[in-house]
A and B are shown apart, each in its own frame.
Chain A
Amino acid sequence: MPEVGLEGQRKLKAASVLVIGTGGLGSPVGMYLAAAGVGHIGLVDYDVVDYSNLQRQVIHGTSGLGTLKVESARQRMLDINPDIEVELYNEPFTSENAMRIAQDYEILIDGTDNFPTRYLVNDVSVLLGKANVYGSIFRFEGQVSVFDAREGPCYRCLFPEPPPPGLVPSCAEGGVLGVLPGTIGTLQATEALKLILGIGEPLIGRLMLYNALDMSFEFVNLRKNPKCKICGPEPEVTELIDYEEFCGVPGHDHDEGAVGGGWDITAIELAERLRNDGQHIKLIDVREPHELEISKIDGAKLIPLGQLAARMSELDSADEIVLFCKSGTRSARALELLASAGFRKMKNLKGGINAWAREVDHSLPVY
């Protein structure tokens, strides 16, 4: 292809792109960037593959059920093109790790499904001076743009604030048409490849609106907002903030989001159960080893979340398992993973070991 050529292939090979999210949007992005020969691709996700993903997250398949999404995605990408490097970040993208992860990449691709992480990706791209290839979906509708504050508007220029929870229908009510992220993610991959190759007109300063029901593609012009709080002339936001607080909603699954109330056990209830028939309960701590130095519950077995899929055989599904972590987020993921493997007798310690420290064992610190 003359517009790409050997020179273009060299550019692709030398390029580095960070894909945040390996779900519906990240699936086509990852596969097409791999197929195009983008030399260095980073993947950020903390989720595991489950059945409900497969209707739209086409980078994953039934053979990957229960495995880490980043691993499953890398396997597929290397199957398509073994001559690329795929770096994995099996962790939520947060204010603590985002700058460190993103700094080594030229282009960020926003494949997130929630407002807190979306604002985080935007702010990282502005603060580090990188292009943010944006895609967003809801039900039958999608938006695509390239936000690059060095030469155009950023996401906050268009949407200074996120919607408060409840004012617009949540995606849980709406869901998305399975093929929709395929369309939008493919457009994001197209824009990323154009940026790398330096060809065509990128979507900088333009927003594309797609509606699958109407089969309409529309474009509007975006301009820098002189009052933008991060890329305007007088920025108020000069470093990463607490995006969950900013948005009023969790960016990552917390105990109330990932599993129903029926799976929760409070610290008080757990203390009582341990007193009465503690011998039947297996406590599983899914935190990282270094967190044991901060606090621990006696008798608990440590299996960090990232190792759980591989170490599942150490658990007996006949036992009554109580999972815990720092605040209930990772243990909810662990519970889900075990549920997908057939475990039924499980509880998630609500509020994690921090709740235990507050309500039961006051000698432990809250961190």
Chain B
Amino acid sequence: MPTVRIPTPLRSYTGGQSEVQAHGNTVAEVMDNFLGQYPDLRPHLYNGNGELRAFVNLFLNEENVRDLQGGETALQENDRLVLIPSIAGGRYKRIAYVTQFNSF
């Protein structure tokens, strides 16, 4: 069964799971099956028209499915889909720090 790898920012939607197995013969089928297990995740990955959002990429092994046949791309048993969202971080809300100071 193909697996879907979930990046840490989205693991809160998969009960902390980093990899989930899902049924299907194509990328679209596997993603449907996967999101059937975690429906709250769907709006984070797909827009209302069922298109992958512009800040999320889905890689089949090492290739972007966009560069293959998209949702129609056929999958083998041991294939691995990797979700790659855009990330930016490293800043903390300074409000916590300043508020703490203010309460001295």
Q: Chain A interface (Cβ within 8 Å of chain B)?
A: 23-25, 50-52, 56, 112-115, 118, 136-141, 143, 158-163, 167-169, 171-172, 174-176, 181, 207, 209, 211, 213-214, 218-223, 225, 253, 257-260, 262-263, 335-336, 339-340, 344
Contact = CB atoms under 8 A, between A and B. Distances in A.
B8 interface: yes
Given A113-B91, A136-B88, A143-B87, 9 more contacts: A137-B87, A137-B90, A141-B7, A159-B57, A172-B91, A218-B82, A221-B63, A260-B95, A260-B99
Nearest to A209: B84
Interface string B47-72: 00000011101010011101100000
A136 B43 CA distance: 23
B24 interface: no
B62 A171 contact: no
Given A141-B7, A159-B57, A163-B86, A258 B91 contact: no
B37 interface: no
Contact of A262 (B53, B91, B102): B102
Contact of B98 (A115, A136, A161, A260): A260
A174 B63 CA distance: 28
A262 B96 CA distance: 12
Interface in B79-104: 82, 84-95, 97-99, 101-102, 104
A140 B8 contact: yes
A213 B7 CA distance: 11
Interface string B10-27: 101000001000000000
Contacts of B89: 113, 136-139, 171, 174-176
A163 B102 CA distance: 33
Contacts of A339: 98, 101-102
B55 A163 contact: yes
Give the dominant DSSP class at B's interface: mixed
A223 B66 CA distance: 10
Nearest to B85: A168
A52 B8 contact: no
Nearest to A118: B88
Q: How large is the interface on B (under 10, 10 to 19, 20 to 34, 35 or more residues)?
A: 35 or more
A19 B59 CA distance: 30
Nearest to A135: B90
A196 B64 CA distance: 29
Given A162-B55, A209-B84, A25 B12 contact: no
Contacts of A262: 99, 102
Given A112-B88, A115-B88, A140-B8, A168 B93 contact: no
A219 B98 contact: no
A25 B104 CA distance: 32
B90 A24 contact: yes
Given A257-B93, A259-B98, A262-B102, A138 B8 contact: yes
A155 to B, nearest CB: 8
A346 to B, nearest CB: 9
Given A141-B8, A344-B102, A159 B93 contact: no
A141 to B, nearest CB: 5
Nearest to A225: B66
A145 to B, nearest CB: 11
A176 to B, nearest CB: 5
26 contacts: A23-B90, A52-B97, A56-B90, A137-B89, A138-B87, A139-B89, A141-B7, A161-B54, A162-B86, A163-B85, A163-B86, A171-B88, A171-B90, A171-B91, A172-B91, A172-B92, A174-B89, A175-B92, A209-B7, A211-B8, A213-B8, A220-B82, A221-B63, A222-B64, A336-B94, A344-B101
A159 B90 contact: no
Nearest to A50: B97
A333 to B, nearest CB: 10
B57 to A, nearest CB: 6
A139 B9 contact: yes
B82 A181 contact: no
B17 to A, nearest CB: 12
A51 B87 CA distance: 24
Contacts of A176: 89-90
A216 to B, nearest CB: 9
